[in-house]
Amino acid sequence: MVVSPGKELGLIIKSPTVASSVEAATYLKSQKFESLFLNLPRSLDELVAEYVMGMRYEDLVEEVRKRKLLPEPVESWLREHEPLLKNLREEGVEVCTFCYRDDKAFEVETKNAIETALLVLRDSITEKVSVDRWLKLLASQARTANLTRQEADYILDESSNYNKNICIASFEGRELKRYLEQEMETWVKCIGLPYHFTPLDILRREVLLGKASEERIRQLVKEHVKFIREMVVPKDLETAIFEWTKRRLYWHPSIFTKKESEGL
């Protein structure tokens, strides 16, 4: 569909961390917009609208749990989105919200995340990479990428009713932009950088592009198992991602500045 002239959509592409969500929430305070598209499944749309109207955050979590809209622990699946949701309840914020992720795609992603964790544990214990299992799992993840166009169409349809729109996305926002900018004025703001992809992030991308050989899969899975064992387990995912990025992008000006501020 072609959106009427004068309407625009800002695409905030953020790294998948709580820290970047806090940064995004702060950035939103400086923006004027009428609608906000959240990268949550559409099944949460009604509850998020109720939350914006006054529901307590704890009650939102319990309703999601009661309706079984997200796997357990529900708090973990919502943690990255919590700062953005709580920002919507601040005084003076009046905005229409939409959860735009396809429910089936989101369900597949959550199941795959659980299967990925189990497969990492299995390979860590056996010290062998289950190439066939990884290929099957990553192939199913690649199929959900084809739904990006449907999500873009949903955003375009709903945003056509407003002049100023903002959409929150993770790195799949690059694909969203490709579709959205064809139909309406679109600008991009990247948040949570620098960020270095984990070995599993890299493997997903290479499988999607058809570039992952069996040897490459073994290499990246071994690197990811090491990342989980040595960085995530003794700390937490958020800290591990920060430390991973700091090690890999030590030359980046932002990393150098952070090291100086920490006295390193």
pLDDT in tens, 142-194: 676 668 888 999 999 999 999 999 999 998 888 899 999 999 999 999 998 88
Does the residue 253 lie in any domain? no
Contacts of residue 88, defined as CB under 8 A and 6 or more positions apart, other chains included, come to: 36, 51, 52, 95, 97
Average pLDDT over residues 129-139: 87
Structural domain boundaries, residue 229:
8-246
Kindly indicate the confidence band of residue 110, based on its pLDDT and cuts at 50, 70 and 90: confident
Q: How many structural domains is the chain composed of?
A: 1
Average pLDDT over residues 206-225: 89
Does the residue 13 lie in any domain? yes
Q: How far apart are CA 109 and CA 224, in angstroms?
A: 18
Does the residue 12 lie in any domain? yes
Does the residue 240 lie in any domain? yes
Q: How far apart are CA 208 and CA 145, in angstroms?
A: 9
User: Is the pLDDT at 264 greater than 60, yes or no?
Assistant: no
- Torsion angles phi and psi, residue 217, rounded to 5: -60, -45
Does the residue 252 lie in any domain? no
Does the residue 33 lie in any domain? yes
Does the residue 103 lie in any domain? yes
User: Is the pLDDT at 250 greater than 70, yes or no?
Assistant: no
Does the residue 264 lie in any domain? no
Beta bridge partners of 165: 9, 35
Q: What is the pTM of this model?
A: 0.86
